[in-house]
Amino acid sequence: MSFKSSFRRSLQTCVVVALALLATSRGDATVVRFNSVLGNIDVRLYNTATPLSTANFLNYATGGDWVDTFIHRSVPGFIVQGGGFTFPTGATSPLSVPQDPPVLNEPGISNLRGTIAFAKIGPPAGQQPTPTTINSATNQWFFNLADNSGNLDSQNGGFTVFGRVVGNGMTVADAIAALPRVNAGSPFDTLPVRNFSGGNITKANLVTFNTILPLNLPNGDYNFDGKVDGADLAVWKADFGSTTKAEADGNGNGKVDAADLLVWQRSFGQNFGAPAAAAVAAVPEPAAATLALLAAAACGLARRRHR
């Protein structure tokens, strides 16, 4: 890769991390849409509780790295996993998604049904976890299909939960888990397939994601209709105190609390229209000077991408 391209990627990483840190400071939590061939899965990110992990996730997502990614591992009753491979149109076989440097582990939120967490490299059999394995998350993520807290909250330093499915997205995750699986060789030995009757596996047989991008929603929009009004306050009241619902977790700290009411109050009356996935350019930007300072600080926290 040329120096110019490498520099551009490094700058993009810093800017995305800066935007994530800015969102955290303002008490905002991103909602991301996984647009799959089986339907949408919307996820509220825990920007406040896991700022490094959400910044890492958004860097891959907004950089387009997960266009045509697919679920490559399905374990019914446990998890469905993706993010590591893509199958672009015209390709004859999967391609690996280039990895950013690993992100520091941020355990704390339990791996319950409906949460999304980063996959990691495990220690060799019979050996104890090391800082390298504990902090090895890069581009692969998984949806928890069940309460996996007894295992995944402690294994290998704990797996970082950085978001939770909102709305009816788990019906899509369950539909993926219900698909037949084939052994196409590691790491595709539990590969979910659709419309497959044997022979070569093509892109049409995979559970692919067209895009994984943030939704253009106003902060405080807890029913995801594009506007902040009394209906969103009703959602907050109904879910107040919950640590297992994220619709009204407007600041992304893992709990629906008084801080989320402040997010709603600050945004009341905003109307963005029908929700739609927003590319990086469509995300409102802070003042240039503020962004530059944040980017500089973020570069000190986040490692640069080198492909």
Residue 207 lies in a domain: yes
Q: How far apart are CA 307 and CA 294, in angstroms?
A: 24
Q: What average pLDDT does the segment 83-87 reach?
A: 97
Residue 12 lies in a domain: no
> What local confidence, expressed as pLDDT, does residue 298 receive?
41
Q: In 3D, which of 217, 219, 223 has the Cα closest to residue 266?
A: 219
Q: For all residues of the chain together, what is the average pLDDT?
A: 86
Q: What average pLDDT does the segment 276-299 reach?
A: 43
> What local confidence, expressed as pLDDT, does residue 277 receive?
79
More confident residue, 16 or 184: 184
Residue 229 lies in a domain: no
Q: How far apart are CA 127 and CA 271, in angstroms?
A: 54
Q: How many C-beta atoms lie closer than 10 Å to residue 181's C-beta?
A: 16
> What local confidence, expressed as pLDDT, does residue 276 receive?
84
Residue 233 lies in a domain: no
Tell me which range, 1-5, 90-94, 294-298, is most confidently predicted by mean pLDDT: 90-94
The CATH number of the domain holding residue 83 is 2.40.100.10
Q: In 3D, which of 272, 212, 254 has the Cα closest to residue 34?
A: 212
Residue 256 lies in a domain: no
Helix ranges (H only) for the chain are 3-26, 51-62, 131-134, 149-152, 169-177, 230-239, 258-267, 288-301
Q: Which domain holds residue 90?
A: 29-216+276-284
Number of domains present in the structure of the chain: 1
pLDDT of 253 higher than 70: yes
> What local confidence, expressed as pLDDT, does residue 212 receive?
98
- pLDDT-derived band at 159, boundaries 50, 70, 90: very high
Residue 110 makes CB contacts below 8 A (sequence gap 6+) with 147, 149, 153, 161
Q: How far apart are CA 161 and CA 176, in angstroms?
A: 20
Output the 3-class SS for 46-87: CCCCCHHHHHHHHHHHHCCCCCCEECCEEECCCEEEECCEEC
Query: Which of 11-15, 113-117, 255-259, 269-273 is least confident?
Result: 11-15
Q: Which two tokens stand for residue 84?
A: 């590591």
Residue 72 lies in a domain: yes
Query: Which of 107-121, 213-227, 293-307 is least confident?
Result: 293-307
- What is the model's pTM? 0.83
pLDDT tens digits, 114-134:
999 999 999 898 899 999 999
pLDDT tens digits, 224-235:
999 999 999 999
Residue 11 lies in a domain: no
> What local confidence, expressed as pLDDT, does residue 75 receive?
98
pLDDT of 246 higher than 90: yes
Residue 258 lies in a domain: no
- pLDDT-derived band at 28, boundaries 50, 70, 90: confident
pLDDT tens digits, 34-69:
999 999 999 999 999 999 999 999 999 999 999 999
